[in-house]
Structure 1
């Protein structure tokens, strides 16, 4: 299993408690549109992602991340080059 696939699996697991509408999760799912998350939900979810992967997602990065796949790519990039 690739690192990216492991990140995707973890991200989708972390989304589940916030997935109140029971949306089928895929890389193209949007947080605002498909999942209908408000800003408070986004903040809680970002905190969970940061804790899980031991990374920091900046506000600028958050503004650019609209889909599950984009989040997985951002986490992969941060894990590779971020905190060493």
Structure 2
């Protein structure tokens, strides 16, 4: 399993408790539109991602991340730094 695949599996697992609508999550899934997350949910989720991967996602980075795939790529980059 590649590093990206491992990251994807962890991200998908972390999304699950927040997926109240039971949306079928793919890399194209959008947090605001598809999962209908409000800002508080996003903050809680980002905190979990940061804790799990021991990274910091800035507010500017958060604003640019709209899909699950973009988040997986961003986590991979931040882990590499």
Give the alignment's TM-score, normalised by structure 2. 0.99
RMSD: 0.3
Normalising by structure 1, we get a TM-score of 0.96
Q: Which runs of 5+ in 1 are unaligned?
A: none
Find the counterpart in structure 1 of residue 52 from structure 2: 52
Aligned to 2:11: 11
Alignment of 1:33-44 (within 5 A): 33-44=33-44
Structure 2 unmatched runs, 5+: none
> Which residue of structure 2 lines up, in the alignment, with residue 29 of structure 1?
29
Moved over 6 A (4+): none
Distance in 1 (CA, whole Å) between partners of 2:32 and 2:56 is: 21
